């Protein structure tokens, strides 16, 4: 299964689980918008669409933070198929700490995503309360996994390679592709 890594603002540095997973597995690809620090919704949608187009089969999207909102915006516009979306640390654009430079992403489509999706949430994420995450997941038709108190589930969370997250992704990808998975 092909996996496209979708970082949020800043592009997920070297200590972030997304970067560590990609370093471990060179088959994972990262979408490339024009600017990681001043995100432009139209540019990010086009970059995601291009990366999905390059896939030989419908991929899994592995998104973090702002890129979770990107997936919803992209799904509302694109006709391209993906196998599913693994959405980690969904931020609340109505929060006082939502980055001003990301305001273009704030009007998030609230309709059901046209593919399987899994939202992974932290109980103490400063960018998205459990209440906001659960409401967004309900809108999107996403299953929710509560990973515990992991902050924003990023490099600063001290997760290293985040093996528990990698197992969640593997199980989700297998289910999305119809493979049988037995987690031991």
CATH of the domain at 93: 3.40.50.1820
Which tens digits make up the pLDDT trace of 110-159? 999 999 999 999 999 999 999 999 999 999 999 999 999 998 997 778 78
Distance CA 19, CA 67 (A): 14
How many domains does the chain contain in total? 1
Confidence of residue 182 (pLDDT cuts 50, 70, 90): very low
Asked, for residue 184, whether it belongs to a domain, the answer is: no
Asked, for residue 88, whether it belongs to a domain, the answer is: yes
Mean pLDDT (the chain) is 93
Asked, for residue 182, whether it belongs to a domain, the answer is: no
Confidence of residue 54 (pLDDT cuts 50, 70, 90): very high
Asked, for residue 133, whether it belongs to a domain, the answer is: yes
Instruction: Please provide the distance, in angstroms rounded to a whole number, between the alpha carbons at the two ends of the chain.
Output: 21
Asked, for residue 183, whether it belongs to a domain, the answer is: no
Is the pLDDT at 183 greater than 60, yes or no?
no
Task: Identify the helix (H) or strand (E) that includes residue 144.
Answer: strand 143-146
Q: What is the DSSP letter of 59?
A: P
State how far Cα 115 lies from the chain centre. Answer: 13
Asked, for residue 91, whether it belongs to a domain, the answer is: yes
> For residue 62, what are the domain limits?
3-177
Asked, for residue 37, whether it belongs to a domain, the answer is: yes
């Amino acid at each position: 299964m092909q996996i496209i890594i979708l970082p949020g603002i800043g592009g997920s540095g070297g200590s972030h689980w997304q970067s560590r997973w990609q370093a471990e597995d060179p088959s994972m690809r990262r979408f490339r918008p024009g600017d990681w620090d001043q995100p432009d919704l139209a540019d990010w949608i086009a970059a995601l669409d291009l990366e999905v187009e390059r896939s030989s089969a419908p991929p899994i999207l592995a998104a973090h933070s702002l890129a979770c909102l990107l997936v919803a915006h992209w799904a509302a516009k694109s006709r391209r198929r993906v196998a599913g979306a693994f959405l980690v640390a969904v931020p609340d654009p109505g929060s006082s700490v939502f980055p001003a430079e990301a305001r273009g992403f704030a009007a998030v489509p609230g309709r059901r995503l046209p593919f399987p999706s899994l939202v992974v949430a932290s109980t103490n994420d400063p960018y998205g309360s459990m209440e906001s995450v659960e409401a967004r997941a309900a809108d999107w038709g996403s299953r929710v996994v509560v990973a515990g108190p992991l902050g924003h589930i990023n490099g600063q969370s001290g997760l290293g390679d985040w093996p528990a997250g990698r197992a969640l992704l593997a199980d989700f990808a297998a289910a999305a592709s119809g493979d049988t998975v037995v987690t031991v």
